[in-house]
Amino acid sequence: MRAKPVPGGKPLDIKIEDNSNLTFANRVSTLKIKIKNKSEKTLRNIYLTPPPDFWEEREVKGKYGDVQLMWGGGIVKGCLVTLPHDRTELKPGEEGIAYFLIYPGGGSLGEIQAPLNIYIGDELIKRETINIKIVKGDLRAYVYRPRYVPRLDESILPLVKKVIENYGVPDVETRVWPMGVSPGVPTPKVEIFFEDKRVAEITGDIGSGFMHISRIKVHRNVFIAEAPSPEGKRRWYWVARIWFFWLDKSVFDEVPDGERIELWINPDTENVDWLITDAHWKEVAYKGPVKCAEVKITGGMHRTIRAKIAGLVKSYHAPRILNMTKFMVSPDSRDPRKIPLTLQNLSLLVNR
């Protein structure tokens, strides 16, 4: 694609939000980028995407050495800037948010310069370089960062230090069973274990057998966070964040997509007090406690974007929690005028 000159200078302003370019080795985190339309025209279908030389060959993602850059939404071309109600245009002066997921491998350290191409429709407008800082062996890596507000709250570092010194880091294991049986149909199953205790069972549209699920990436990290308990008392939690990534180009038409499931585990009871996941750019919190969360991932499609841009594709894998109560749904995280709700700031609502 060729670059297109735009009258009046650069039409877009790009800014990193929440210091989200600070990352930690072997941990998936959010890279949050705010885009502002500085032109006098309405701009439609704005994409941010790695340059061709930085694309992974088999999977839909960017790769800068040992650092992976991923996006979802079922749009192969790149991260499409969308607003609430799946609107894909920015009016003059309007802002939007692009959410990437970034994963520095274990060999990453220091800083890298990651170029991103910015397109308006099919026209390459500019190339922006993102400075990504990678830290290894730091207690800050255990501080929980919400997906849509990924700023690092260093005020809980004393708690993190105390917890790690007293408890160590718990073992969280994911076990993938390629062929389970659900109502007589062979389907995969994923189980999550916390210190050898099963705390979640995940079934549904996570593959159609070994050849499928073997190409779906499952990643886990453990964090420490403070939040209200279901009874309304402030306390600390282990947070096991599990990511499912549909990135492999051979996995039918379900790429790229990523879904998370967060298990907020009470260290005193080892029960799942809270579970957090997403529903089309909204954070959803479910209330326990339960000994083992039952999760079903359901494939689907969003016709509004797909029909206009990419055709109808099966790329939406919304987790449903079968044995917990839905407690909170945040506003749409793609609206830069609103601060997404997180579990940590809901103390006043727990006993409603």
Could you tell me if 102 and 170 lie in one domain? no
Residue after which a domain boundary falls, among 90, 117, 135: 135
The answer to whether residue 131 sits within a structural domain is yes
Residue with token string 């790695």: 50
Could you tell me if 316 and 273 lie in one domain? yes
The answer to whether residue 7 sits within a structural domain is no
Could you tell me if 271 and 303 lie in one domain? yes
Could you tell me if 69 and 148 lie in one domain? no
Res 222: pLDDT: 98
Could you tell me if 155 and 304 lie in one domain? yes
Task: Indicate whether 5 pLDDT > 50.
Answer: no
- Residue with the bigger pLDDT between 314 and 322: it is 322
Q: Which of 117-121, 212-216, 323-327, 328-332 has the lowest mean pLDDT?
A: 212-216
Could you tell me if 224 and 98 lie in one domain? no
Hey, what amino acid is at 195?
E
Mean pLDDT (the chain) is 85
Could you tell me if 129 and 151 lie in one domain? no
Task: Indicate whether 261 pLDDT > 50.
Answer: yes
The answer to whether residue 151 sits within a structural domain is yes
Kindly state the average pLDDT of the residues 52-63.
Answer: 91
Kindly state the average pLDDT of the residues 263-277.
Answer: 97
The DSSP annotation for 94-125 comes to: -EEEEEEEEEE-TT--EEEEEEEEEEETTEEE
Residue after which a domain boundary falls, among 90, 105, 135: 135
Q: Which of 21-25, 166-170, 229-233 has the lowest mean pLDDT?
A: 229-233
Task: Indicate whether 266 pLDDT > 50.
Answer: yes
Confidence of residue 300 (pLDDT cuts 50, 70, 90): low
Task: Indicate whether 2 pLDDT > 60.
Answer: no
Residues whose CB is less than 8 angstroms from the CB of residue 338 and which lie 6 or more positions away in sequence, other chains included: 331, 332
- Report how far residue 236's alpha carbon sits from residue 204's, in angstroms, rounded to the nearest whole number: 31
Identify any residues that bridge with 82 across adjacent strands, giving them in sequence order: 97
Task: Indicate whether 208 pLDDT > 50.
Answer: no
Res 178: pLDDT: 64
Q: Please tell me whether residue 40 adopts helix, strand or coil conformation.
A: coil
Displacement of CA 350 from its chain's centroid (Å):
25
Res 317: pLDDT: 62
Kindly state the average pLDDT of the residues 298-307.
Answer: 52
Instruction: Determine contact, residues 145/29, Cβ cutoff 8 Å.
Output: yes
Residue 122, domain CATH: 2.60.40.10
The answer to whether residue 259 sits within a structural domain is yes
pLDDT in tens, 75-92: 889 999 999 999 999 999
164 φ/ψ angles, rounded to the nearest 5 degrees: -65, -40
The answer to whether residue 6 sits within a structural domain is no
Identify any residues that bridge with 98 across adjacent strands, giving them in sequence order: 33
Could you tell me if 195 and 303 lie in one domain? yes
Task: Indicate whether 299 pLDDT > 70.
Answer: no
- Report how far residue 270's alpha carbon sits from residue 350's, in angstroms, rounded to the nearest whole number: 20
Kindly state the average pLDDT of the residues 228-239.
Answer: 94
Token output for 186: 């062979």
Task: Indicate whether 255 pLDDT > 70.
Answer: no
Task: Indicate whether 253 pLDDT > 70.
Answer: no
The answer to whether residue 121 sits within a structural domain is yes
Could you tell me if 256 and 345 lie in one domain? yes
Residues whose CB is less than 8 angstroms from the CB of residue 109 and which lie 6 or more positions away in sequence, other chains included: 25, 134, 135, 136
Residue 238: give the domain boundaries: 139-349
Could you tell me if 282 and 317 lie in one domain? yes
Half-sphere exposure (Cβ direction) of 255: Cα atoms closer than 13 Å: 20
Task: Indicate whether 60 pLDDT > 60.
Answer: yes
Confidence of residue 121 (pLDDT cuts 50, 70, 90): very high
Count: domains in the chain: 2
Could you tell me if 54 and 71 lie in one domain? yes
Q: Which spans in the chain are helix H?
A: 157-167, 210-213, 303-305
Kindly state the average pLDDT of the residues 263-280.
Answer: 96
The answer to whether residue 194 sits within a structural domain is yes
Contacts 24+ apart (CB under 8 A), 178-181: 178/207, 178/209, 178/210, 178/213, 178/214, 179/209, 179/210
- Report how far residue 191's alpha carbon sits from residue 177's, in angstroms, rounded to the nearest whole number: 8
- Residue with the bigger pLDDT between 195 and 176: it is 195
Res 62: pLDDT: 95
Could you tell me if 123 and 147 lie in one domain? no
Residue after which a domain boundary falls, among 135, 160, 180: 135
Half-sphere exposure (Cβ direction) of 23: Cα atoms closer than 13 Å: 31
Res 312: pLDDT: 40
